[in-house]
Amino acid sequence: MNCVLCKSQLIHGEANHIFDSGSQIVIIKNVPAMVCHQCGEYYLDNETAIKIEKIVDELLKNKSEITIANYSEIAA
């Protein structure tokens, strides 16, 4: 699989996913992803993307302006 942006090869790795709702920011660290070794763009598989959506929804409930979480600790 190749990167959509730069066409370079993707490798298994981890990425930091950032969600900005406008009033809150959620950062989820160490998310398993396919990462472009050239430009850093990352791609999530469907299962991980669904988990990320659920995690973000839960973390937004705490009303903190910025929330940082580690994927491996909350995606059980």
Per-residue pLDDT of 40-63, as tens digits, reads 999 999 999 999 999 999 999 999
Q: Quick check: is 48 in a domain? A: yes
Q: Quick check: is 55 in a domain? A: yes
Q: Quick check: is 8 in a domain? A: no
Q: Which domain holds residue 52?
A: 15-30+44-74
Q: Quick check: is 21 in a domain? A: yes
**pLDDT (0 to 100) of residue 42:** 98
- Say what percent of the chain tops pLDDT 90: 95
Count of structural domains, the chain: 1
pLDDT digit string (tens) for 3-46? 999 999 999 999 999 999 999 999 999 999 999 999 999 999 99
**pLDDT (0 to 100) of residue 75:** 78
- Rounded Cα distance between 68 and 55, Å, is 11
- Rounded Cα distance between 63 and 47, Å, is 26
Residue with tokens 């298994």, as numbered in its chain: 12
